[in-house]
Structure 1
């Protein structure tokens, strides 16, 4: 009988040959430094004897090991439970969830917010629930946005990265096409979707210009603030920094990055949240976010709003960017994410390996995750890195760069 299964060995060999095979490398804790283990497959991992500095995490404010955040999670586990136990539409809705959503809505300047089990689920659930006729999507949007469009079966028009003029031309082309078919463009539902901060390029979307284009054509705007929530004005994102709350109909984000927890959220009008509660399959058919995760996110949001972590982060970003650029490295982006673009994938891997040998963890990102010829190291400081940590990172870059022949 023919084997109708899958040739997994060939797949793995192809990944290995193309330098694309990745492996799990456990760490003892999530913080600005830690002990890592070599990839061990299914075997018990063994931690290194030397501690390494981490400049590769989305734990931007360093709150995963903040005592206040940990205490909030511990207390909730003890009093409410470790898991929600069911979909929130059954018995998995708790006061802890409601408190988190109240705080998120307050920060985001919306009527209500809704917590999902992940940011991925929030994007997929929202797009499929809305079922827009057309989605206009930035070419570098996150995979969860791309997959949401696919699952919704919607027509997707891709516009050039962070190019509001190109977006406007795509909107005009669509309107003209519908008119040419003797249709009414106003009868279609249009949704413009963009990340606010892009995770691999560190770029920031021109949200005001995107809103201008949306207003001109009556489209709705949906902004994924995954890499911005907690880092900007009053603990909000780029939408809050630019005062666009009244012009962005749908705000999303994650709780798993700056807010040091797990899960995602959508914020918007009361009507939007009610529709998502009923129609977003990734919400309806998922067990609710674990109460300790909701409590940790609430406390992290409070710390982000009222503490000094945001200021420390941006100071570290400026110090690191200045140091890298002064050495001659090409640093992209306008955010806390600092892509050091090398170009050649082999050089990027060699540079990352050289930096790792000097006790600093910074990943090499290469195609297909990024376009050919733009292989890079994705450098991300945390608020909890001190001045000596930043200097150590810069010194590792200098020594490894000279060794590889990039400086």
Structure 2
């Protein structure tokens, strides 16, 4: 009989041959330091004996280990339950969800907010539910945005990264097409606010200007910004653009030290998503402990000094890396150390790990060929000695690889 299955061995072999195969490396805890295990496939992992500094986490405020956040999760598990048990539309809607959504809407300056089981589900479900006729998308948007655009069935127009002039040109070109005279045609403009691999920040004001000129809606993904900017919000709040952006999306799994995603906007938007977003309707609700942990983390992001400590560490680390001679891209808490060659990037990451620092090499296909880099992400809970240790590791490893 003819084999119509899949040659998985050949696929894996190709990945290994091209130095693209990735492996899982478990850690004992999510914090600014920890013990890692070597990749073990399906076997039980064995932790290494040496503790290492972690400069690769999206746990930007270091709140996963905060006792107040952990206590909130414990209390929710004890009083509400460990899981939602069903879709929110069945019996999985709890007071823990409503409390978090109220706080998110307040922070984001919107009428309502809605939580999803993941940020990926929030993006895919929202874009597909809106059913836009045309989507204008930044060329470096997250994969969940790309997949949401494809699933929506919209015509997808890609503009140059963080380039408002390119966006305006695409809007003008699309408007000039004869079939764009249909007044019922819907346009959605989607962008990340902070881009996770480049550390760049979208020019949201200029994007809103262009969108308003052509009557398009704007959706902003604040996954890597939520909790880090003004009043614990994102770039939208920092720039005072709440009234000009129709859909604010974000995650609970990064600075908010939990799991899940959210969308904030008008009451009508949320009601439509409750009814039409398949990733919401057909998913079990966010777990109550995750909702409670995110609520407490958001409260701390708004009312503690965690944000200030993060940005102090970012400034110290950026200045130090640039002083050593490394090129650092972006203007956010994400510090991509540009290397170029993928083998050099892998060697630099290995050298850092040998010196007790975890910072991954990001290489194609995640980033374009010739733009491999080390993605460095400090946390609010790193001490000054940790920042110094990271810089010393970069200097020694950079010299060893021949980059300095």
Task: Check the 8 A contact 1:175/1:185 in 2, yes or no.
Answer: no
User: Where do residues 63-82 of structure 1 align in structure 2 (5 Å cutoff)?
Assistant: 63-82=63-82
SS of corresponding position for 1:24: coil
User: Where do residues 184-195 of structure 1 align in structure 2 (5 Å cutoff)?
Assistant: 184-195=181-192
User: Where do residues 105-254 of structure 1 align in structure 2 (5 Å cutoff)?
Assistant: 105-178=105-178, 181=179, 184-254=181-251
Q: Runs of 4 or more off by more than 4 Å in structure 1? A: none
- TM-score of the pair, normalised by structure 2: 0.99
Q: CA deviation at 1:188?
A: 1.0
Match of 1:328 among 325, 328, 335: 325
Q: Deviations over 1:155-174 (max 9, x none)?
A: 10000000001100100000
State the alpha-carbon separation in 1 of the partners of residues 201 and 192 from structure 2: 8
User: Where do residues 5-404 of structure 1 align in structure 2 (5 Å cutoff)?
Assistant: 5-178=5-178, 181=179, 184-404=181-401
Q: CA deviation at 1:300?
A: 0.0
Q: CA deviation at 1:184?
A: 1.4
Segments of structure 1 that go 5 or more residues without pairing to the other structure are none
Number of residue pairs matched by the alignment: 404
SS of corresponding position for 2:300: helix
State the alpha-carbon separation in 1 of the partners of residues 106 and 263 from structure 2: 13
SS of corresponding position for 1:335: coil
State the alpha-carbon separation in 2 of the partners of residues 295 and 67 from structure 1: 13
Segments of structure 2 that go 5 or more residues without pairing to the other structure are none
State the alpha-carbon separation in 2 of the partners of residues 93 and 131 from structure 1: 26
State the alpha-carbon separation in 2 of the partners of residues 216 and 42 from structure 1: 54
- TM-score of the pair, normalised by structure 1: 0.99
SS of corresponding position for 1:43: coil
Task: Check the 8 A contact 1:136/1:158 in 2, yes or no.
Answer: yes
SS of corresponding position for 2:373: strand
Q: CA deviation at 1:186?
A: 3.3
Q: CA deviation at 1:194?
A: 0.1
